[in-house]
Structure 1
Amino acid sequence: MQRIFCAISAALLFIQPSIAASAAEPAPREPYGIDLEGFAYPYPVNLLPLTNDGEQLRMAYMDVAPAQPNGRVVVLLHGRNFPSSYWAPVIKTLSEAGYRVIVPDQIGFGKSSKPTGELHFDTLARNTVALLDHLQIAKADIVAHSLGGMLGVRIARAFPDRVAHLLLVAPIGLEDYRLYVPPTPTEKIVENEDRLTAEGYRKQLETNYSLRLPPDQVTPFIDARFNIKGSGEYPRWLRAFVSSAQMIYREPVVHEIPEITEPTLFIMGADDHNAPGRPNAPEALRPKMGQNAELAKALATKMPNARAEVIANAGHLVFLDAPQKFNELMLAFLGSR
């Protein structure tokens, strides 16, 4: 009996570390498709067929009708690191105020097709106007966040008759990153992005965006990025994602901003110092980058019809960090003549 007890004890000693080790391992991620198949959006998603550079693609979008229409339309333009589903609270606010809300995923992002060719702001601008044409919308207000802000600038410059108000929400592109960051080969960016872990990405968001959101609100952003790694088409997604980084670098819009004539409002988080490419800049130049609130205020003074509002204790995701103040500023601006 004693021999049996010792044998069992020895077996348990062998098994218990294995159990502990497996318990410490993160649960495997349920793979998403590279068009975010498996990731839920807050409203039904439609698909618009498009042709970009000879390639057949589909642009995903949500079209949310208000219960009591005011006759106005708002187009929401997302940032680079987020699916357009993160606009959910803003969609609700605008819809309750009577606005029809159009929320596209740009080609290369979210539930839209991932092209094999390079991304360009001019192409994304044409795609967005093609969506307005498809929906028979002659003119809309644009609310644009982060990378979407750069696209909003390009739309306002190329298609000024289609834009009633331009609201730039913590936009990037308020400086020319080429003045600080040397050109980075695409393969190097692919390598760095592929090496990034989910926890590293969480820390990156917290550092770059001064996030104030609780962890459970950040987790969907992590899932939307990392569950795609389980897809057999992940390399194509990664190429499109890296192409968007090169687009930001190679196609600055800051020089066009002073030429915008439509009513424009910048809403900035006081703690937003996001600056794409900063880690690749010479160390002496890094502190000069990402002074976004000050950059917005300076640009507004050069524009014929613009102003900047800075919200204290808010970062890059200002509409989620300070929703009450953001909504107040947004609705007042969109309602102005």
Structure 2
Amino acid sequence: MIHQGTAYDLTGPEDAPVVALIHGLGLTRAVWQWLIPDLTKFRVLTYDLIGHGETAPPEGDPTLKDLSDQLADLLDHLQIERAAIVGFSLGGMVARRFAQDHRDRTTALVVLHSAHTRSEKQQSAILYRVDQARDHGPEATVELALQRWYTEEAQATRPDLMDLTRHWVLANKREVYVKLYRILAHGVEEIVAPSPPLTVPTLVLTGDEDTGNGPEMSMAIAEEIPRARLVILKGLRHMALAEAPQAVNRPVVDFLTEVLR
């Protein structure tokens, strides 16, 4: 289904608590295919971010707030007053911005493999990738991304997963992809140390081998949200939700089941 250019799917029991899933940069709502089968107790909303998948490209240069507003508009259209927000990577940034913008509409927050303040070296690295994307498109960054996102074992034994992820990334148009990449690079500071702090029940999760959004970032996110839970997955990288779905699904589903009673 499509609303105002946003492609989305809404499934599950109509009277169940709503869980909205927000994918990462260069991907689509299809990245949630491994989690959705374990969310049968919930009403699940997935959608493609601006400029991704089947959703229309942005007008001008979008901001992190524009991505937050996209979700708010979609919830309004669907007459959903409140939802738990689950965000992966860039989606985790959108989720935190939404939770800041719409505190009364956010029932729970799950932040998967997402960024906090970067070191100078980390920021230089992501800005270099933005420049590559600007000059050469997603094909310039995808192979190194696969190495960062998946363990060496998965890279060697899961060609199907590599091909699927590569397909998602390469489907992005260069002029649109770089605009969204800039949000990933520059949008973090507007969600760091929110004042007042977020008080919504929160789960923060990453892998101990996620070099771009690793344990120290997840710890920093969790420390800013009172009583937030922190899960660090051993031996997994950025795309743990695809490589080892149950390692991610179990803590996410257990958390949502507990707090959305």
TM class, shorter-length? 0.7 to 0.9
**Number of the residue aligned with 1:132:** 75
Q: 1:122-271 alignment to 2 at 5 Å? A: 122-171=65-114, 173-176=115-118, 181=123, 189-193=133-137, 196=140, 201=142, 203-211=143-151, 212=154, 214-226=158-170, 237-252=173-188, 253-256=190-193, 259-271=197-209
**Number of the residue aligned with 1:304:** 226
Which residue identity does 2:136 align to in structure 1? N
> Which moved further from structure 2: 151-160 or 173-182?
173-182
Q: Which has the larger radius of gyration?
A: 1
Structure 1 unmatched runs, 5+: 1-45, 50-57, 229-236, 275-289
Measured after TM superposition, the shift of residue 170 of structure 1 is 1.0
Which residue identity does 1:60 align to in structure 2? A
- Tell me if 1:63 matches 2:10: yes
Measured after TM superposition, the shift of residue 184 of structure 1 is 6.5
1:178, 1:250 within 8 Å by CA — same for their partners in 2? no
Question: What SS does structure 2 have at the residue aligned with 1:63?
Answer: strand
1:105, 1:112 within 8 Å by CA — same for their partners in 2? yes
TM-score, with length taken from structure 1: 0.68
Identity of aligned residues (%): 25
Measured after TM superposition, the shift of residue 152 of structure 1 is 0.5
Two-structure CA RMSD over aligned residues (Å): 2.5
Question: What SS does structure 2 have at the residue aligned with 1:85?
Answer: helix
| Separation of aligned partners in 1, 2:129 and 2:27 | 24
1:228-258 per-position Cα deviation (integer Å, ceiling 9, x unaligned) = 6xxxxxxxx3211101111222222452458
- The 1:130/1:227 distance shift into structure 2, 3 A limit, reads closer
Question: What SS does structure 1 have at the residue aligned with 2:174?
Answer: helix
Measured after TM superposition, the shift of residue 294 of structure 1 is 2.1
- Tell me if 1:48 matches 2:41: no
- The 1:187/1:309 distance shift into structure 2, 3 A limit, reads closer
2:133, 2:174 within 8 Å by CA — same for their partners in 1? no
1:178, 1:249 within 8 Å by CA — same for their partners in 2? no
**Number of the residue aligned with 1:25:** none
Measured after TM superposition, the shift of residue 175 of structure 1 is 1.7
1:130-157 per-position Cα deviation (integer Å, ceiling 9, x unaligned) = 1111111111111110100010010000
Q: 1:271-282 alignment to 2 at 5 Å? A: 271-274=209-212
